[in-house]
Amino acid sequence: MPIITVDGPKVTKKQKKELVNSLTKTASQILDFPEESIIVLLKETDPDNVGVGGKLISEREDNKN
């Protein structure tokens, strides 16, 4: 039973549904597994909890405004 994990920013419920649907269909076709066996885990991460290049993403976003 394949498990697909996506770590990313907070997104809308509509975006989540589209992503889960698309990943499930694609993985099912490529791996030749039934869609019912594909598990997709979405992990939303707050920008205050992620650092890139020595800075929090939230700090980088603040500098853009």
Q: Is the pLDDT of residue 63 over 90?
A: no
Q: What is the pTM of this model?
A: 0.79
Q: What is the CATH number of the domain that holds 28?
A: 3.30.429.10
User: What's the pLDDT tens digit per position in 8-37?
Assistant: 999 999 999 999 999 999 999 999 999 999
Q: Which helix (H) or strand (E) segment is 43 a member of?
A: strand 39-44
pLDDT band with cut points at 50, 70 and 90 for residue 60: confident
Structure tokens at 4: 């697909």
Domain total for the chain? 1
Domain extent at residue 57: 3-64
